[in-house]
Amino acid sequence: MIKRCIHDIRLLDGCGGDFPCADVFIKDEFIADIRIPSGPAPADWHIIPGGGCTVMPGLIDGHVHLLFDSSPRAPMAMMRKTRDQLISEALPRARATLKSGITSIRDLAGTPKGMFSLKEGLAGAKDIPRIYDCFTVLTAEGGFGAEAAITVTQKTAASIIGRLAEKADFFKILGDRDDETSPDGFAPHFDDDTFAEICRAARDQGRPITVHAKCRTTIRQCLLNGVHSIEHAVRAEDDDLKAMAAQGAFLDATFLGLKCRADNQPNFDEFARVKAFYPRASEFGVLLTMGSDSGTVFTPHAGGVEELKFMVQAGLRPMDAIRAATSVAAQRLGDQSIGAVALGRKADLLLIEEDPLSDICAIDRSLRWVMKDGRIV
């Protein structure tokens, strides 16, 4: 057994606790004890000096596309590549993501037509984040992403979802597409009956659903069917946000992805729309999580800390943004082994020299080391 003590630190536990003087004890990959206040360095433990720096949980980025190359045609670029090529390109992106302080991710790209499980493909790799994998993306006939996604209809939903459930930690549904002819700029993919059947089939398999939902029709379909997590929600109105809060639906605003598109595409207004409603989402009690959309068009990988910056600029207190990226994100994953500095949790930790509650960008600017599973990487 390897015993380590991170000695003399300020502790942000990811659940809202702020302890100015503490020690964290780690046995192998788990947190074994927390001493508040800090005491004498124990003689029989390997000491990792904290020097009064801040320890907090590793970040969880809930909206990542490891197979996308951030180009203007990022989703389609992967279609021309083999399994080995895709893995070889994903690996350095994953390593850079971990080094930035993101110790776990939800990958929302999957592989083309479910070519292989990305989580399994990267299983032997060292120094990468923990991966929760959608395996592949589901869309409608002729819908957005149809080249790479698997098409689902009302008749095929049960069989397709049943077949994919073994590989998928959750299901990602592309619920709508851009449509300049529509009054709000988007067109829903599915009629109400088909959407409901997809959700029913996923529940039967015991898998949560996350939905790319930009138009209000799709957002309402999500809420009518108890969808677990909503991505983007560009056209959400106050009634929708209140319903999300009442139902316990999680929301990724994906500020970074929207901002990168706004910086590169004239008249792209989605970033401004989401930023405008975000303070009300927080006020109503929506379960806000961090999802950067890293890897999609124009959006760099390892963008979690940049996403946190936009969340704070949009009205969250730094402590609430940290909770969104740690304990609340772990709640969405249904994995209570991560996301907090607490007894029995995985030792996924960051050591930061400056104060992230004074400036959230301190996580990026003064990150001294990243620990995953009890090992500094």
- Sequence ranges of the chain with CATH classification 3.20.20.140: 59-333
Superfamily of domain 59-333: Metal-dependent hydrolases (3.20.20.140)
Tokens representing 8 are 């003399």
Query: Over the stretch 320-377, which tens digit does the pLDDT of each residue have?
Result: 999 999 999 999 999 999 999 999 999 999 999 999 999 999 999 999 999 999 999 9
In the predicted structure, residue 80 carries a pLDDT above the cut 90: no
- Give me the helix-helix angle, 255-264 and 270-284, nearest 10°: 160
Maximum C-alpha span of the chain? 70
Beta bridge partners of 213: 232
pLDDT band of residue 76 (cuts 50, 70, 90) is confident
Query: Over the stretch 162-183, which tens digit does the pLDDT of each residue have?
Result: 999 999 999 999 999 999 899 8
The helix/strand/coil state of 47 is strand
Place of tokens 């990792």: 48
Strand boundaries in 122-245, DSSP class E: 130-133, 137-139, 150-151, 171-174, 176-178, 186-188, 209-213, 229-232
pLDDT band of residue 208 (cuts 50, 70, 90) is very high
Place of tokens 């449509």: 179
Cα distance between the two ends of the chain: 19
Query: Over the stretch 131-158, which tens digit does the pLDDT of each residue have?
Result: 999 999 999 999 999 999 999 999 999 9
Q: Which percentage of the chain shows pLDDT scores above 70?
A: 100
Q: What is the pTM of this model?
A: 0.97
Closest CA to 305 of 282, 328, 324, 280: 324
The helix/strand/coil state of 126 is coil
Query: Rounded to an integer, what distance in angstroms lies between the CA atom of residue 46 and that of residue 41?
Result: 9
Mean of the per-residue pLDDT values of the chain: 97
- Sequence ranges of the chain with CATH classification 2.30.40.10: 3-58+339-376
In the predicted structure, residue 77 carries a pLDDT above the cut 90: no
Let me know if domain 3-58+339-376 sits in CATH 2.30.40.10. yes
Q: State mean pLDDT over 10-23.
A: 98
Query: Over the stretch 222-265, which tens digit does the pLDDT of each residue have?
Result: 999 999 999 999 999 999 999 999 999 999 999 999 999 999 99
